[in-house]
Amino acid sequence: MFKKIADWFTKIWTAVKNWFTVAYPVVKTWVIANLFMIINYIVIFFSYNIVFGHEDVVVAETLLGLWIFASIAYAAFKAFLKK
C-alpha cells in the first residue's frame, strides 16, 4: 500500500514540477510587467485596512477612493492600448 501512495505522490509531484517549469517564465514576465500595479493595489489594500471603520477620516477615504478610481482607469488605459 505504501508503494501505491509513493507512486501517486511521485506522479503528482512530476506533474506539478512540469507545470511550474512551463508557467514560471510566463508568470515572471507578467509580474515584472505589472509590478507597479501589484504594489499599488497592495498599498491601497493596507491603507484601507488601516483607515476603514474609523471616524473622522472622510478625507483619507475620499483620497483612497480616488486612488482606486485612478488605478482602475490606468489599468483600463493599458488594456485598451494593447494590440
pLDDT at 71 (0 to 100): 87
* pTM over cut 0.75: no
- Which amino acid, 12? I
Q: What is the pLDDT of residues 13-50, one digit of tens each?
A: 999 999 888 888 988 998 998 898 889 889 888 888 88
- Give me the residue label for grid cell 490606468: 74
Does residue 52 sit in helix, strand or coil?
coil
Q: Is the pLDDT of residue 10 over 90?
A: yes
The CA distance from 25 to 33, in Å, is 12
Q: Give the helix/strand (H/E) hosting 13.
A: helix 2-33
- H/E segment holding residue 24: helix 2-33
